[in-house]
Amino acid sequence: MTIIDQKKDLRQQMRGRRATLPNSVKAEYDQWICQALWDRIEQHQCRKIHLYLPMHTEINIKPLIGKLLAQGLTVVAPRALRQGHFQNLILQELEKVEKGIFGTTYPAGEEVFSGTYDMIIVPGLAFDQHLYRLGYGGGYYDNFMVHHPSTRKVGLAYPFQVVDSVPTESHDLKLDEILVNPNFLSLT
């Protein structure tokens, strides 16, 4: 089986696992992630954060986003363009978003952020102990993160999303941390 086939199979498996999470369990875990992320942001004194706007069964970080905005931090979220690239837009309000490709949402308006980030919060379908991630297959985050080598990159995972080894190719980049609560028994 090729690496591409292995990635495809793992993506399908993880989408299925996330889709079967009971809403109450998902909400409790997502709340834990938001608090743990807030603690990391404070610990590292982050002021400019690049993050995703959650879609479908991704970890819901909207409560954290609201807190970041209320604290006056710079919050940047991507608009997915064709061919694996982002346009990074400043988010002013959670309610002011537009629909994008692949079911994504992005900040309304055209206020592009072109500076550096203190932290990049990365979604994914699977992660491993070597800090590799498996995304959705478009290469968006790898294309983006390669331009920010010194920025702290944090992946968010449910415990079942952490596997022994994610199939990797030469363009796949490592994260600095995977935020996961392995003691969350109802998700193992």
Residue in this structure with the two tokens 């988010």, named with its chain if needed: 91
Give buried/exposed letters for 26-50 (b at 16+ CB in 10 A, else e). Answer: beebbeebbebbbebbeeeebebbb
- Residue 82 predicted with pLDDT over 60: yes
Angle in degrees, 0-180, between the axes of helices 23-43 and 62-70, rounded to the nearest 10: 30
**pLDDT band per the 50, 70, 90 thresholds, residue 83:** confident
Please name the amino acid found at residue 92. Q
- Residue 183 predicted with pLDDT over 90: no
The CATH number of the structural domain formed by 3-180 is: 3.40.50.10420
Q: Which of 71, 98, 95 is nearest to 87 (CA)?
A: 98
Task: Give the pLDDT of residue 186.
Answer: 57
The two three-digit tokens of residue 133, written as one number? 């991630």
> Contact at 8 Å (CB) between 36 and 179?
yes
**pLDDT band per the 50, 70, 90 thresholds, residue 185:** low
Q: Which of 142, 175, 180 is nearest to 37 (CA)?
A: 180
The average pLDDT across 117-132 equals 96
The two three-digit tokens of residue 82, written as one number? 């064709």
Task: Give the pLDDT of residue 137.
Answer: 86
Q: What is the pTM of this model?
A: 0.94
Q: Which of 113, 164, 146, 136 is nearest to 18 (CA)?
A: 136
For the chain, report the end-to-end CA distance as a whole number of angstroms.
Answer: 27
The two three-digit tokens of residue 159, written as one number? 């415990």
31-51, pLDDT tens digit by residue? Answer: 999 999 999 999 999 999 999
Domain borders along the chain are 3-180
